[in-house]
Amino acid sequence: MKSARYTRAIMRSAVLGVAFLRLVAMPTPAAAETGAEAWLRYSALSPQAARAYEKLPRNTVLLGESPVLKTAQQELIRDAAQMLGRSLRIRTSSSPQNAVILGKLTDLHALVPTLHAPQDLRADGYWLKAAKIHGSECLVVTASTDRGVLYGVFALLSKIARGESLAAIDIKDIDEVQQPYAPIRWVNQWDNLDGRIERGYGGPSIFFTDGNVRSDLTRAGQYARVLASIGINGCTINNVNAAPGILADSFIAQVSRIADVFRPWGVQLSLSVDLGSPKVMGGLDTFDPLDPRVAEWWRKKADEIYRRIPDFGGFVVKADSEGRLGPSTYGRTPADAANVIARALKPHGGVVFYRAFVYNHHLDWHDLKNDRAKAAYDNFHPLDGAFDDNVIIQIKNGPIDFQVREPASPLFAGLRRTNEAIELQITQEYTGQQRHLCFLIPMWKEVLGFDMHVDGNPVPVRDLVAGNVFHRPTGGFVGVANVGMDANWLGSPLAMANLYGFGRLAWDPNLTAEKIIDEWTRLTFGSDPLVNQTIAAMQLNSWHVYESYTGPLGAGTLTNILGNHYDPGPESSEENGWGQWHRADHAGIGMDRTIATGTGFIGQYPPDVQKLYESLANCPDNLLLFFHHVPYTYALHSGKTVIQHIYDSHYEGAKRAHDFIAQWRTLEGHIDDERYRDILARFEYQAGEAVVWRDAICTWIYRLSGIPDDKGRVGTPPSH
Ligand code: GCW
């Protein structure tokens, strides 16, 4: 009943939309934009562009009636009307003439037994196929799951919105199968129950406020739509530094309301849990994972959750990490801890993500062999094979912590009999906190494409995490998103390219950064070539620019590591237990992680990768200081000394950040004023911050090394 009303409401708004479009002769200059629609703006196409879609069927038929399928049809009707100015009419399966037919393959076969997908459709994969059905031209959007149908609809809408392959939309030609690379494509939100978000830069939580679930969950539903549109199928709603109270029965009842608004979009809800819960809030005197009472506690808890949330996804666990309780309290292993929870979830089909971010933050920095980078591999590699089938080890992309550049974590190649997922950070904790432009897809692509040379064979990280290499039952991609109540979700309009890109890479890590940014820019700003080219180029350069005025040569972000992770603070990242970044002194700089003389971290990689990093001759310049300690006068492959490279890089980076202002100004009048002015102000701010960074790091290193800048810039007061 409710959904029929909703359908009518959608239809009404579509009809009104059409009426409105008829009144407006031509697309007006861009209207006010808040960013709330993200890349789902679906603005009216120009009459000329719309003509290319004239052959899109006039009707739509839905086979089945699940909430996800209904969402798919409503989305199609509404957005096609917005873009094309005409509304698809709903027909039943008895009259599928000239229709976009939506439904699972099994239902489609009942209608057209002869239609067979060209390949097996994996869960969530879809097939867009033009076909003559009962003598009339139809367009089929089909999949093996309801969710796949929804993804197929979003893909079709995206093509129309981007004006992609106009010829391909010719009803006779379209025949496209898309399959996700891996089953796990999730986001994590680090939301606290009081409404604050750890490392969130887009406003307060869309889920929680003052210790409760928000009464109005409109934004949570909109978020699920945004996620579904790029194929993301799971969302962990609370901070990995989990409040035990999340598991109180009364709270689960509240959380189930969030699951209700996710469900129509095929997004599974999951929770971060505190491993101490059985004791801290559960009434037991222990949380020892091997105690049968603890196992029973988790079983009952899981049963209770599934009673209220039948499609619940599972738990994320951060334990023995940064002060969190963990199995070490009882001399147990991460496998003991993960398995006790996994067994409680197993009968319901749930999974446990156990984070590999386990390290000692009271490390003795005087001991030059100590190295935080070694922790994940040291803790998890020996347990390979000890984890149950529904446990996934969630591994940060690099061995430290989302720095501006890190090598791929060696643990990706260190687990053969254990599921794994890569954890990428969409929220820009160490990369400018959404106040600096930093498009992270090129960085993620480098990691996903990094060849781990497993057993001497070429093996990119993307295949390891997808579970393809060692034939694991599951695996994939997790992104720490941290969207908030700000209208534009992440606090900065351009930062949304990272969320979009995460979803696209999780679906297909072989997509190029260029393709992803082109898609995002067209969807977000329209089809003006100047806008597309300018924004794409700025985004594609932005990571290198940020890296060059913060921490080049693999030195780490050089930010204030004990505080906000934003301002320059190179001294803070040394001489404390949280790990060592650069070991800079008067004679040299860099962390010696070699097998021969350093911490031995390089020894965690397969032999061919060891060869790459162990020798100074082979080690790439951009990771030199991550792996080696060298004198400031050491000559890079480029021929420059390390110190001169650092000076030049900071000056050049700050200049390039400043150039962003002029590049952006070329877009005045080509995009809406709101976003134009908002983003311009951000670039002006970033240019100033880049100078602060440049001067802080150059002065620091000049004082340490005593070596002047060849070009005479460092250490001299500014001339005006
Ligand atoms: O990078 C660090 C962050 C912490 C975060 C932790 C983690 C949620 O500074 O805020 O805690 O990583 O990933 O667990």
Q: Are strands 208-209 and 212-213 parallel, antiparallel or unpaired?
A: antiparallel
Whole-number Å distance between alpha carbons of 200 and 427: 7
Q: Are strands 99-104 and 630-631 parallel, antiparallel or unpaired?
A: unpaired
Nearest CA to ligand 1 atom 13: 357
Give, as one character, the DSSP assignment of residue 601: G
Q: Three-state SS for 100?
A: strand
- 53 neighbors 160 (Cβ within 8 angstroms): yes
683 lines ligand 1 (CB under 6 A): no
Low-confidence ranges of the chain (pLDDT < 50): 1-30, 719-720
For residue 652, indicate whether it is catalytic. Answer: no
Question: Two tokens at 647?
Answer: 């000076």
Q: Distance from the CA of 329 to the center of ligand 1, in angstroms?
A: 21
Give 55-95 pLDDT, tens digit per residue. Answer: 899 999 999 999 999 999 999 999 999 999 999 999 998 88
DSSP track, 603-672: GGS-HHHHHHHHSTTTS-GGGHHHH--EETTPBPTTS-BHHHHHHHHHHHHHHHHHHHHHHHHTTTTTS-
Q: What number of residues does the chain have?
A: 720
Pocket mutation for ligand 1, best pick of 198, 325, 424, 478 (most atoms within 8 Å of C-beta): 198
Report the pLDDT value the prediction gives residue 21, as an integer from 0 to 100.
36
Report the pLDDT value the prediction gives residue 252, as an integer from 0 to 100.
97
- 357 neighbors 333 (Cβ within 8 angstroms): no
Tell me the residue type at 680. L
Phi and psi dihedrals of 168, rounded to 5? -65, -20
Nearest CA to ligand 1 atom 14: 240
Report the pLDDT value the prediction gives residue 23, as an integer from 0 to 100.
36
**Environment class of residue 177 by beta-carbon count within 10 Å: exposed (0-12), middle (13-18) or buried (19+)?**
middle
- 356 neighbors 376 (Cβ within 8 angstroms): yes
State the DSSP H helix or E strand holding residue 354, giving kind and residue range, or none if neither. strand 351-355
Q: Distance from the CA of 344 to the center of ligand 1, in angstroms?
A: 27
Report the pLDDT value the prediction gives residue 24, as an integer from 0 to 100.
35
713 Cβ neighbours under 8 A, 6+ residues apart: 647, 651, 698
How many alpha carbons lie under 13 Å from residue 641 in its C-beta half-sphere?
14
State the DSSP H helix or E strand holding residue 455, giving kind and residue range, or none if neither. none
- pLDDT above 90 coverage of the chain, percent: 84
Question: Two tokens at 59?
Answer: 């009707």
Exposure class string for 354-386: b at 16+ Cβ within 10 A, else e: bbbbbbbeebebeeeebbbbbbbbbbbbebbeb
Exposure class string for 317-353: b at 16+ Cβ within 10 A, else e: bbbbbeebbbbebeebbbbbbbbbbbbbbbebebbbb
Average pLDDT, the chain: 93
Give 88-142 pLDDT, tens digit per residue. Answer: 999 998 888 999 999 999 999 999 998 998 889 999 999 999 999 988 999 999 9
Q: Distance from the CA of 430 to the center of ligand 1, in angstroms?
A: 11
Whole-number Å distance between alpha carbons of 28 and 422: 43
Ligand 1 atom showing the smallest separation from residue 565 Cα: 9
Report the pLDDT value the prediction gives residue 578, as an integer from 0 to 100.
73
Whole-number Å distance between alpha carbons of 337 and 387: 9
Question: Two tokens at 203?
Answer: 């406003």
Strands (E), 370-493: 391-396, 419-425, 476-480
Whole-number Å distance between alpha carbons of 683 and 667: 13
State the DSSP H helix or E strand holding residue 351, giving kind and residue range, or none if neither. strand 351-355
Backbone Cα Rg of the chain: 26
Which domains are seen in the chain, by residue range?
A: 2-32+550-705 (3.90.1330.10), 47-178 (3.30.379.10), 184-511 (3.20.20.80)
For residue 322, indicate whether it is catalytic. Answer: yes
Give, as one character, the DSSP assignment of residue 171: T
State the DSSP H helix or E strand holding residue 259, giving kind and residue range, or none if neither. helix 249-262
Whole-number Å distance between alpha carbons of 694 and 14: 52
Give 587-634 pLDDT, tens digit per residue. Answer: 999 999 999 999 999 999 999 999 999 999 999 999 999 999 999 999
Strands (E), 48-120: 59-63, 89-91, 99-104
Ligand 1 atom showing the smallest separation from residue 423 Cα: 13
304 lines ligand 1 (CB under 6 A): no
For residue 574, indicate whether it is catalytic. Answer: no
- 327 neighbors 369 (Cβ within 8 angstroms): no
CA 159 to chain centre: 22
Please, where are the H alpha helices in 286-326? 292-308
Short-list 162, 177, 135, CA closest to 53: 162
Which residue carries 């004198």 as its tokens? 631
CA 197 to chain centre: 16
Short-list 594, 595, 565, 599, CA closest to 580: 599
349 Cβ neighbours under 8 A, 6+ residues apart: none
Which residue carries 């082109």 as its tokens? 518
430 lines ligand 1 (CB under 6 A): no
Q: Distance from the CA of 357 to the center of ligand 1, in angstroms?
A: 9
